[in-house]
Structure 1
Amino acid sequence: MTVELIRTPILKNATSNDHEGFRISHRLSSEFRAGFLSDGLEYTINKMSKWLVAALFGALIIWKHDGEALWIAMGCAMNCWLAIALKNILNHKRPISTLRSDPGMPSSHSQSIFFGVLFVILSMVKYVGLNGNTVVAGVLTLSSGSYLSWLRVSNKFHTISQVLVGAVVGAIFSALWFQAWYAFVLQAFTASFGVRIAVFLGSASLCVCFLLYIFKNGLTEEL
């Protein structure tokens, strides 16, 4: 009887402790999963954003494979070179300098993204016209670009001003580049073999130089 009286509270305490341990473990596991999904997923999307934009432009260039595709490729490369030049000129520190050693103004990610965003929207309006479908597609494109750019702020790689300046510069450069093609380059490209050669060589050389720059600075290095 004495043994039973002693064993019973011990078993009850052990069972209670097991349940409490399970609840704590379950809560910690849930918090870890929530943190991973909120932080890890955003970080992964942010890391992939530049490659996603590059892949989309690459697919567009391969699909069109014409003079305009070469002009787009040249514009992409020149936009990236412009971002690098502006970084060195402005020499604006990032919010956390230990994450990246290079300057942060403007954000080259947002500049590249909004170059693509505006070029896609302008192309849709040019080829399809302004209607309900292009408005919806344009809003979705703009929203996606804005979200990818915002990830640069939420992941502490850039300040809001650096991202906004990059977006504005990229959009302006995109509009000017798009307009230049239809204003005078297309006519010259169609009429002159020399212009076609110049556009081809210019596009190829700029893209190759930029790829060499990326490889030289490491594929994992943020721009």
Structure 2
Amino acid sequence: MSKNRTSVALKQTLVIYDESSLLSWLLAIITLSPIFLYVAEACFILFRREYFGLTLILGQLINEIVNVALKEIIAEPRPSPCEQSEYGMPSAHSQAMFFVTSCVIVTLSRRRHKPLSDWEKNFLYLFLITCSLLVCFSRVYLGYHSVAQVIVGALVGCVVGYFWTLCFQEGNGGLLSLLKSVKALKLMYFKDSLECCHFLRREQLQCFKCEECTK
């Protein structure tokens, strides 16, 4: 390696934990949930071709910009002895998780139709909230953030997610309508399955009725 080059760690995936503690190892995995979430959203767009997936990705970018701006404005350091030099208020991980949780809850609760059954919806809510809380706990336990930093991150994520979802859904002039008017997305067969009642059940029944699928 050239002497002029400086090696640095990728901070988004760098997690330092106590190797002698199983709990510490588990929380180190859990704290990477936002990374897994980004991959899941990309797969959701690639394989499902859903407009909702696009709104999440675009919203995540806005949410990240808000987080960076707030960190620079507040300029609160991370708790000692955290080795990361970046500011810690608010927590980007907790903000990202609660942004998605807020988007999903607001989206499903404001739809005229019921894309999911009540038990499916409640299970999804419980899963997302639990994962988000675990990420918050992991950030504090591993020493990357204080309790106040993850709480503020969660609140900011909820607020940004709420208003971002309203921008896409409210009225015919919402950003979702704008996305649906893009011809390139139509050519790629993008759709809004959340407009259908129990869309997962419908797709399953259609698959059973398809002659090609039943061969």
TM-score category of the 2 structures, normalised to the smaller one: 0.5 to 0.7
Q: Deviations over 1:104-156 (max 9, x none)?
A: 00000100111112223334443436723312321222111111121001111
Name the counterpart of 2:74.
90
CA distance in 2, matches of 1:100, 1:180: 35
Indicate conservation of the 8 Å contact 1:105/1:162, yes or no. Answer: yes
Name the counterpart of 2:150.
163
Segments ≥4 residues shifted beyond 4 Å: 191-194
Indicate conservation of the 8 Å contact 2:63/2:157, yes or no. Answer: yes
CA distance in 2, matches of 1:41, 1:72: 27
State which of 153, 175, 194 in structure 2 corresponds to 1:185: 175
Matched, 1:43 2:33: no
Structure 1 or 2: more helix by fraction: 1
Matched, 1:141 2:131: no
Give the TM-score normalised by the residue count of structure 1: 0.63
Gaps of 5+ in 2: 1-18, 187-215
Query: 1:53, CA displacement in angstroms?
Result: 1.7
| RMSD (Å) for aligned C-alpha atoms | 2.6
Give the TM-score normalised by the residue count of structure 2: 0.66
Indicate conservation of the 8 Å contact 2:41/2:53, yes or no. Answer: no
Corresponding residue pairs, total: 161
Higher gyration radius (CA): 1
Equivalent residue of 2:85, what SS?
coil
How has the CA–CA distance of structure 1 residues 163 and 133 changed in structure 2, closer, same or farther, with 3 Å as cutoff? same
Equivalent residue of 1:104, what SS?
coil
CA distance in 1, matches of 2:119, 2:161: 23
AA partner of residue 160 (structure 2): F
AA partner of residue 178 (structure 1): T
Q: Report percent identity of matched pairs.
A: 24
Indicate conservation of the 8 Å contact 1:94/1:159, yes or no. Answer: yes
Name the counterpart of 1:174.
161
Query: 1:192, CA displacement in angstroms?
Result: 6.9
**Where do residues 14-163 of structure 1 align in structure 2 (5 Å cutoff)?**
35-46=20-31, 48-96=32-80, 98-125=82-109, 126=111, 127-128=114-115, 131-163=118-150
Equivalent residue of 2:88, what SS?
coil
